[in-house]
Amino acid sequence: MTNYDSSSISVLRPGQLGPSWTIPLSGRPLEIAEAPNNKWIYVGNEQGDCISVVDPGNSKVVGKIELGARPMGIVVLR
């Protein structure tokens, strides 16, 4: 889930009351989408003017796609 005010995302697991871990990002994350192969998570950062690429397996940001303007939505297609 995105944490707009703390500039991070949290990973939730079924059956747990709190997040498994939290990953800091640059900018304010609004939207989040998972790749069809479950290998990457894409996060639209409103104030960072980019999309962060997160590896959920190691809980790290592995890339950034610069947009030049703030993203207002995100969709991953097969």
Q: Where are the domains of the chain?
A: 2-66
Please tell me the total number of residues recorded for the chain in this structure. 78
pTM: 0.85
How far is CA 19 from each of CA 16, 35, 36, 66, 75, rounded to the nearest angstrom? Answer: 7, 21, 22, 28, 24
Q: Cα separation of 32 and 45, whole Å?
A: 9
Q: Cα separation of 20 and 28, whole Å?
A: 20
State pLDDT tens for residues 15-67.
Answer: 888 888 899 998 899 999 999 888 999 999 988 889 999 998 888 999 999 99
